[in-house]
């Protein structure tokens, strides 16, 4: 099991280090593990519990009333608050896993089979309201499009159905990213996300954007099909720390240039302090130029440990 320091626990849960210590000392709401030198260490389950406690205090509960409830009881209580006062608490951070992503995925696929686009939009809105941005990306959107891709290959779904679904999902994801952006996160690390010229597969960077939003990074979604010079100009102007570039394994078969040429042009125009993360499969990794400025990330699941590492002081 991996453990994280109090700064990471505070960043992810939204509870300040001072409050975490107070909840531990006064109410034993959370009992972290200790390192050899006595520093507090928190597991992912501990951080999840802190998030649940924070939501309940936002709903008006006293920490003394909820500190000793187990995680299941905390989630049930949050669900009760949301059910009884949906309007009053619509802007409070929602509890995770109160609905099943698998159930929503099933409902969307069923609606898509008969082009019931209003139902798809309703299900996506429900997912937005009840899932964390990270779970929305990894437990719903990613498997949803993998499923649709298989159905297209099998001939049971058409390209028109995929495009219809894409338009609805992009709208809802865009709403989340926009809401996060206008909150003006104060995190010190800025992330720009894009795809290179001719690359129109953007769901990788959309999902990555949601994950970065979940961890409160400053996120700048620059979109797909971005020339190297334009991407470098934007990244330099915004003064980002990282560029996340989504590239599909088919990129060089649909583009007039190779990935190597694109990256060399990007590096030539880019501030050398800005790191570049390339998202894709092993075929992409073999085509990347060797550079300390560039790093390969094989999947969205590999983002989380890298993000948590960035959050370490």
Residue range 22-57, pLDDT digits in tens: 999 989 999 999 998 989 999 988 988 998 898 888
Q: How far apart are CA 290 and CA 295, in angstroms?
A: 9
> What is the CATH code of the structural domain delimited by 6-84?
1.10.1660.10
pLDDT at 99 over 90: no
15: helix, coil or strand? coil
- Looking at the whole model, is its pTM more than 0.85? no
pLDDT bin (cut points 50, 70, 90) of residue 184 is low
pLDDT recorded at residue 276: 94
Mean of the per-residue pLDDT values of the chain: 85
Residue 109's alpha-carbon distances to 24, 105, 240, 267, in angstroms, are 44, 6, 37, 41
The class of domain 185-311 in CATH terms is alpha beta
pLDDT bin (cut points 50, 70, 90) of residue 143 is very high
Q: Which CATH number fits domain 101-181: 2.60.40.1170, 3.90.950.20, 1.10.1240.10, 1.10.287.3510?
A: 1.10.1240.10
Q: How far apart are CA 165 and CA 149, in angstroms?
A: 12
Residue 139, by phi and psi: left (phi above 0), alpha (psi -120 to 50) or beta? alpha
- Higher-confidence residue of 115 and 79: namely 115
pLDDT at 202 over 90: no
Over residues 265-274, mean pLDDT = 94
Domain locations in the chain as residue ranges: 6-84, 101-181, 185-311
Over residues 126-139, mean pLDDT = 88
C-beta separation of 140 from 207 below 8 A: no
pLDDT recorded at residue 95: 42
pLDDT at 89 over 50: no
pLDDT at 213 over 80: yes
């Amino acid at each position: 099991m991996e453990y994280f320091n109090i700064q990471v626990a505070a960043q992810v849960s939204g509870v300040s280090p001072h409050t975490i210590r107070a909840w531990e000392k006064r109410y034993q709401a959370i009992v972290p593990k200790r390192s050899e030198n006595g520093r507090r260490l928190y597991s992912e389950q501990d951080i999840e519990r802190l998030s649940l406690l924070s939501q309940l205090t936002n709903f008006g509960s006293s920490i003394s009333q909820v500190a000793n409830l187990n995680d299941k009881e905390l989630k049930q209580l949050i669900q009760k608050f949301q059910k009884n006062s949906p309007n009053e608490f619509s802007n409070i951070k929602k509890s995770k896993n109160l609905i099943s992503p698998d159930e929503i995925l099933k409902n969307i696929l069923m609606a898509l089979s008969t082009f019931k686009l209003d139902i798809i939009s309703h299900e996506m809105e429900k997912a937005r309201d009840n899932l964390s941005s990270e779970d929305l990306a990894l437990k719903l959107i990613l498997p949803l499009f993998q499923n649709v891709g298989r159905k297209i290959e099998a001939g049971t779904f058409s390209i028109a159905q995929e495009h219809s679904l894409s338009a609805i999902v992009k709208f809802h994801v865009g709403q989340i990213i926009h809401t996060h952006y206008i909150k003006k996160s104060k995190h010190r690390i800025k992330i720009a996300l894009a795809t290179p010229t001719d690359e129109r597969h953007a769901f990788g960077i959309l999902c990555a954007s949601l994950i970065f939003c979940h961890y409160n990074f400053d996120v700048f979604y620059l979109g797909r099909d971005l020339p190297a010079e334009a991407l470098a100009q934007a990244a330099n102007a915004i003064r980002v720390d990282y560029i996340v570039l989504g590239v599909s394994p088919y990129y060089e078969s649909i583009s007039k240039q190779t990935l190597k040429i694109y990256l060399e042009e990007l590096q030539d125009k880019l501030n050398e302090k800005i790191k570049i993360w390339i998202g894709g499969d092993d075929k992409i990794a073999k085509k990347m130029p060797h550079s300390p400025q560039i790093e390969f990330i094989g999947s969205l699941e590999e983002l989380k440990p890298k993000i948590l590492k960035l959050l370490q002081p």
